[in-house]
Chains A and B, each alone.
Chain A
Amino acid sequence: QQPVQSPQAVILREGEDAVINCSSSKALYSVHWYRQKHGEAPVFLMILLKGGEQKGHEKISASFNEKKQQSSLYLTASQLSYSGTYFCGTSVGGGFKTIFGAGTRLFVKA
């Protein structure tokens, strides 16, 4: 039931791009993306809803392929502040129970 994230870890130089993937074996209603910096609580980045509606509040984009039951998070022109662990969370069947993937560790170096 837990979504699968890939890659497990990414090391980037400042200004480079990255893609983080999230896939599920079950039909998805929505996909959430969160970022957690070391020693801090996870913080909401973006939500993608079935039907294509997308909501978020940072300069980060994402896609949601309902047929393939997967989502991708796109980080372009990465900044040092992008470093952290990115989690995707999925809800099944329109409910609000959110299950998270194991996370993708992103490290951006100068």
Chain B
Amino acid sequence: GAGVSQSPSNKVTEKGKDVELRCDPISGHTALYWYRQSLGQGLEFLIYFQGNSAPDKSGLPSDRFSAERTGGSVSTLTIQRTQQEDSAVYLCAIRDRDYSGANVLTFGAGSRLTVL
């Protein structure tokens, strides 16, 4: 979506390496989400940031995964000691209001991670 920029768009790494995925939303959005989508699968919730509140980390699959959001804007998802099962598209989303006033999620184009 135009409101969310993610980088890199594609990342190929070797098993055991650390990776950082970046999400850069249009400023002013207090709510930011990370989801993971494995090949042909659904959208798996990872973590949710809301303003200055403690993030909801309930979806992080292991302690190798962490995320932070600096200054209420840019967020970085870090995966340490990557495993092959970490291969997926990682999607960032912001909560916004569309023209009808509904709270909707606007997704970025995603970062495709391939762990060899």
Contacts and interface: CB of A to CB of B under 8 A. Distances in A.
Interface of A: 2, 32, 34, 40-44, 47, 55-57, 87, 89, 96-103
Contacts of B44: 100
B31 A44 contact: no
B105 A44 contact: yes
Given A97-B56, A100-B43, A102-B41, A42 B107 contact: yes
B42 A47 contact: no
Contact of A41 (B91, B99, B104): B91
A100 B110 contact: no
Contacts, number: 61
Interface in B83-111: 91, 95, 98-110
B45 A47 contact: no
Given A98-B33, A101-B42, A102-B41, A41 B102 contact: no
A96 B107 contact: no
Nearest to A44: B104
Given A41-B1, A41-B107, A47-B102, 18 more contacts: A34-B105, A41-B108, A41-B110, A42-B107, A44-B102, A55-B101, A57-B98, A57-B100, A87-B42, A89-B43, A96-B31, A97-B45, A97-B56, A99-B45, A100-B44, A103-B41, A103-B42, A103-B43
